[in-house]
Structures are given as C-alpha cells and as structure tokens.
Structure 1
Amino acid sequence: MADHYEVLGVSREATPDEIKKAYRRLARQLHPDVNPGEDASEKFKLVTHAYDVLSDPEQRRRYDMGGDSSPFGGGGGGANFGGFGDIFETFFGGGGQTRGARARSRAERGQDALVRLDLELGDVVFGVHRDLEVDTAVLCHTCEGSCCQPGTSPVTCDICHGSGHIQRTVRSLLGNVVTNQPCATCQGYGTTIPYPCATCQGQGRVRERRTVSLDIPAGVENGLRLQLPGSGEVGPAGGPNGDLYIEVSVAPHETFSREGDDLLATIEVSMPDAILGTSTKIDSLDGSVELELRAGVQSGDILTIKGRGITPLRGSQRGDLRIGVQVVTPTRLDSKERQMIAEFAARTKAPAPHLAEFHQGLFSKLRDRFRG
C-alpha cells in the first residue's frame, strides 16, 4: 500500500497545517466534479484516506509506528478485527458517505429586540400612534442575505464534500468504529464562501436604524409588553426575523392617577361652597366637564362622572372619573369674618367635637390616591 506521506507529497515531519494544505491542493485537482477520470477517482480516494489518517494525531502516531491504517482492518501483523468491523460499519454507517448527518443551514432566526416606550397618562385614555426609531440588524442590501459578493456564490466544501461532517475511523478491540464530526473547514455548513460580501463581512446582515410605526391601544398599563411578531432582528444569512417587544412606561400625572379603568383626582372645595353647594368646570384628560357639588358635601365624599375614565384594553366601555372631595377650612379670618362664623355657630347650635363611629370605608376611599 502506498505511503500516506508520499500520497500527499509531504515529509514525515510535516506539520498538521502543511498536511491540510497539501490535501486541499490535491483534492481540488482530483475531485470527481473537476476530474471525472477513473484514475483520478482512485487517486482521490487514496489522498482522502491518507489525510484522514495523518490529520488524526492518534492514527498518525500508530501509522508512524508501523501500525495498519487500512480502513478494512487486518494485515501488517496486527490483529484482524474485520468481522467486528463489518458489524460496526453496519450500525455506524462506515461506508464512503456520512449517513444521517446533514449540513446545517447558515440562515438562523434573528434575536428578539426590546424597546422601551414612554407614554403620558393621556395617551392611555384613547390610545396613540407612535413612530419608533430602533437600532437592529437588517438584511444586507448588497448581498441580500447570501453572504457573498455580488456575482459569486458559496462553493461545496472540498473536505466534507457538502455533508458538513467528517468521518473518523477509530480502531478498537471490537473493530473499526466510525464517528461523525462537524467539518472544521466549513464549520458544518457543507459550503464555504471564498468571496465574502464586503458590506456585511459575510454575515448577510448589517446594523441599521429604522422606523417602526406602532398603534398603541387604549388601556395599556405601566410595564405591559406589546409583541410585534417578525419585527425584531433579521437572522444571520437572511434568516427569519425575531420579534420586537415594546415595554410601556406610563409617566405619573400631576393631577390624575389610575385605578383599573377609572381615573382618580381630588378637588378642593371652600367651606361656603361645601355648605351651599355649587357647580364648576374641571379639566379632564379629554376636555372640560361640568361637576355638580351638592349642598352639604363632606370631605371624603366621592363624586363620580360616568364614562370619563380609560377605555379598557379589551373592550369599549370607558371607566369613570372619580373625584374625592377635600373641604378647605379657612385659616386666616379678619374680625368681621370671625364674628360671622361665631354667630353662625350660635344659631346652628353645633355640637362640641366628639369621637364618632369608626368608618373603614372613609379611609379606604382616601387611602394612597386621595391624600391632599
């Protein structure tokens, strides 16, 4: 049998890199797709087998020590494990082609992207349209995802011949065990790109700022994430896009707060207006509205204006605007005003201050959101 070093045309002291370069040079000359002659086909098999042996450190060591490197076992004074080898080749696919191994695709799904969107409370009432600027990976406009320079294309790997895997034959006590490993030359893709696209460096995608138009529905809450399928980053080699997630952040309002689909606010009422009652206009988030204050209104009373709250995320019936009353007691009175209040107190014979029955409802209404 021909010497493996002679077949590859390298010395016995050749480095792994020199062996690899010699094999690739001969493989390009003798590959059946390039040189269809029968003689070239036989030489190609010898070159491939020589490379399989010399590129594996353990097999090369055994070969240099005079061991048999034939894929068929036997000969050379070594033990003949051909019978077991045939069994293992049947189970592990020890033929000339890799069985069950497929080259992996360069195109992969892109990553999801997350963008934060700041909204005002007024945007939540009816919904709002926004144009968002996002910085993500997009399809390369030069190669359109092929990863190659225009006019070129990927070529079949001359090491694994397009399978994306390399077979290794390992001698063991039970015979020849054939294993499959990803091809180191093409990284398991089965093809190589001799002329990568200069724009994307062979990635098939580039980073770019783009505009995403978005209709934010009414009723979104702080921290809610909206999903836009297929609007995230494009994958390598033009793979499908990931998703884009919009995280909503609603800024606090100086007048109104939210409780479910209702809006909450507090109105300060003077003592005379609380006693006599009055009407006034207040500015809600979608325009002015008339508010009636009945005579004798008390601090802690809740006035409700129907349909002036928030449109729910899934529905059309708006919530209410609930307004907590806070009666303001005057702190600065002149002598005449003080006399009038004293006469009023005498006429009404108001009772002295005293403890009253505890009302949990009053405190729950005013808790947190209705503090003055």
Structure 2
Amino acid sequence: MSKRDYYDILGVSKGADVDEIKKAYRKMAIKYHPDKNPGDKQAEENFKEAAEAYEVLSKPDKRQRYDQFGHAANAQSANGGGYGGGSMNMEDIFSQFGDIFGGGGSPFDSFFGGGRQSGGRKVARGTNLRIKVKLTLEEIANGVEKKVKVNKQVVCDTCDGTGAKDKSAFQTCKTCGGSGAVRRVTNTILGQMQTTSTCPTCNGEGSVITNKCNVCHGDGLVRGEETISINIPAGVSEGMQLSMSGKGNAAPRGGVPGDLIILIEEIPHETLKRDGNNIIYDLHVNFVDAVLGTSIEVPTIDGKAKIKIEPGTQGGKILRLKSKGVPEVNSYQRGDQLVHINIWTPKAVSREERDVLEKLQTSPNFKPNPGKNEKSFFERMKEYFE
C-alpha cells in the first residue's frame, strides 16, 4: 500500500508554518494516543504515522527534500532510518517529541497511573537489512517493480515469536513485578530522588521464559526467506537508497520489524552514457555524410530515433533530442539526449579512393575556413549543460 501524503496526514496545507504543523500534530497525537486507545492497532499505526509526518515537516531541510522528491527522498537518508522511513516505535516518539506533550510524558499520564516512564516496558525492534539492486538504464528511466528474495530473521512459527514452549512457560518477573522497570531511591543534598530504569532481569518485558521453544531456543526468531516486491520509481541514480518500512529483520515477541534498505546500482549501458538526467551518445559519421548530409538512426532509452545530419556538419557538433533523457524522481520533468557528432576518418584507403581524395585536396572548398560565429567545442558543451 502506498504511503499517504504527510500534509494530508496532519490535515495542513503545503504552505503551513511550523506552529501550524506542531499544533496539528499535537491534535492527532492526542486523538490516537495508545493510552487513550488501548489495544487499538489502527490507532497505534495512525499515531506512528502522524509522528513520522511531523518528524519530516517540522524540519526545514527534510521538508524541502520531501516537497521536491516526495517519499522517494527516503533514499537520501544514509542509514535508512529517522526520515520518513515508517520505522518509528513508541520509544522513539516519546523521546524525540516529548515537548509536544508538555515535558516528555504522555498527556494521559494522570488518567492511566503514570503512563509511559523512561525505562518501562520496551517494544523490541528488529534490525535493518541492506540489499543491492542492479538496474539497467531503461529500468531507471521508466521505473520498475523488482522481486527479490531476502534471507532474514522471521518470526518462529512454532512459538509464534514468543520464544516460549507454550503459553504456560512464562512467569512474572520477580525483580520488577511485571512492570518492566525498577525504581531506585537515592539520597542527595537536595533530598530523596527517584530514578527509573529498565529491569535488568527481563529486559523491560515484565515476564521471563521458564521453558524455551525447542526450535528457536527462546529467541522467537529463525532464519527464513521472503520474496519482496520493490517498486522503484523512475529517475533513481547510482548510490541512492530507498527504504521499505517493516521489511527488515523481524523482532521477537511481537516487536516492530526493521526496515529494508535498498541500495541502487546502475548497470552500464553499451552505447549510452548517463550524465545526471541527460543521456550522452557519441555518433560517428563518415566524411562524405558530414559533407553531403544524411539521416541516421540512433539508439535512445525508448528505442530508435532518426536524426538528420545537415550538409556541412562539423565534428564536435551536439544535437539535442528533447525529453529523451531520464526523468526527475517523482516529477514530470525529463532530461534530454545529447548526440555528439564525431567525424570518422578512415585509417586506410584504396588506390581509387586515394586518387579521388588527392583531387579534392587542392579544392578551395576543402581548405579549413571556420567562421567567426562558429563556437568551440567547450563553448558548445557549456551552452548545452547550463
């Protein structure tokens, strides 16, 4: 399912300022807060979705990239996380956006007995996976769906990811009493201070396994293989990274899966070269065709195209084929194909050909006489790439 527009998620216009975005996010966060909607998975997803939208739109640099590239801007994130990747868990949200709730806690703490405190029960998160996907120039130009087999950690079917032999193989952690956190009171010069930290016995889960699963040995995870369909937008480039939320390694005991980071690699084309969104093609024409003019078919990423070589064409001339290049990511704009004309000089000629050429050699029309208005190769290249 495609990701929703961040502005639509928060219900603001693209011209909204930071205060409007913050106010809209706080409204959505309160509406879908897990403490207000216990056990409601959809509300929890909406809560995470709103946090993801706010995390991007509240930061000018990330917002600018999102406005320009949309969700494909995820690819510019070097590690695949924290920028629209859809991988934020509850701990991320409360630690990063505590100011939205007025001090790092939940706006519902007073109603639910203290709410989410630092060091409380943790939601496990799977690790990210990175793969490389090789694309042809044609696939890059048109966009493509790739199906790849990914070897990764998946939830153990035997114990359904719990790590226990059966439902009775759990007991409440005696250290924290099932809260997942331990509290310590220390005396300071300012009086007694209470600190809360994750329970070291159960690692914040509130329970411990008394009888482990025979298949995963308590991990809740096993190695497996999944075939994943990756929709790659047109216009990606070498080194760009895309992120797929929740397609990385699974997390134990019902945690949040990691992300799948896709690194783009370009397969060099036999005849075409890419320069940004433009395509470069070196066309070699013989001396006679350059003098008399001709029509020649040249390859493009969309197939063959016929171009006209005007009589008297000089070597180094550049012909532009509009919109025959690579499109911008998430844009209707497309680069051009630049055809660089090279005059082919034969290295050997027959006796008859030599006789003809020697007659032409002294002809006035064959003496170099460049006009003052003719631009140099570097001037032409500068003109085309500006």
TM-score normalised by L of structure 2: 0.60
How big is the shift at 1:297? Answer: 0.8
Change (3 A) 1:180 1:120: closer
Q: For the Cα contact (< 8 Å) 1:134–1:209, is it kept in 2? A: yes
- Quote the Cα distance in structure 1 between the aligned partners of 2:223 and 2:315: 59
Change (3 A) 1:216 1:170: closer
AA aligned to 1:190 is G
Q: For the Cα contact (< 8 Å) 2:162–2:252, is it kept in 1? A: no
**Structure-2 residue corresponding to 1:27:** none
1:340 aligns with 2:356: yes
Aligned residues: 271
- Quote the Cα distance in structure 1 between the aligned partners of 2:195 and 2:235: 59
1:113 aligns with 2:113: no
- Quote the Cα distance in structure 1 between the aligned partners of 2:118 and 2:236: 47
How big is the shift at 1:101? Answer: 7.8
- Quote the Cα distance in structure 2 between the aligned partners of 1:164 and 1:234: 22
Q: For the Cα contact (< 8 Å) 1:276–1:295, is it kept in 2? A: yes
1:28-107 map, 5 Å: 104-105=120-121, 107=123
Q: For the Cα contact (< 8 Å) 1:110–1:240, is it kept in 2? A: yes
Change (3 A) 1:348 1:204: same
Q: For the Cα contact (< 8 Å) 1:146–1:237, is it kept in 2? A: yes
- Quote the Cα distance in structure 1 between the aligned partners of 2:378 and 2:194: 81
Match 1:270 to one of 277, 286, 290: 286
AA aligned to 2:162 is S
Match 1:201 to one of 207, 217, 223: 217
1:284 aligns with 2:288: no
Q: For the Cα contact (< 8 Å) 1:102–1:163, is it kept in 2? A: no
Change (3 A) 1:113 1:352: closer
- Quote the Cα distance in structure 1 between the aligned partners of 2:122 and 2:324: 55
Q: CA RMSD in A?
A: 3.7
1:210 aligns with 2:235: no
1:127 aligns with 2:153: no
AA aligned to 2:223 is R
Match 2:164 to one of 148, 171, 175: 148
AA aligned to 1:161 is G
1:164-203 map, 5 Å: 164=180, 185-203=201-219
Q: For the Cα contact (< 8 Å) 1:300–1:365, is it kept in 2? A: no
Runs of at least 4 residues off by over 4 Å? 100-104, 163-172, 174-185, 356-361
Q: Percent identity?
A: 31
**Structure-1 residue corresponding to 2:323:** 307
Q: For the Cα contact (< 8 Å) 1:300–1:362, is it kept in 2? A: no
1:251-262 map, 5 Å: 251-262=267-278
Structure with the greater alpha carbon radius of gyration: 1
Match 2:177 to one of 161, 166, 172: 161
- Quote the Cα distance in structure 1 between the aligned partners of 2:357 and 2:176: 102
- Quote the Cα distance in structure 2 between the aligned partners of 1:225 and 1:358: 44
TM-score normalised by L of structure 1: 0.62
Change (3 A) 1:175 1:197: same
* Partner SS, residue 344 of structure 1: helix
**Structure-2 residue corresponding to 1:365:** 381
How big is the shift at 1:139? Answer: 1.8
Q: For the Cα contact (< 8 Å) 1:146–1:153, is it kept in 2? A: no
AA aligned to 1:338 is R
**Structure-2 residue corresponding to 1:237:** 253
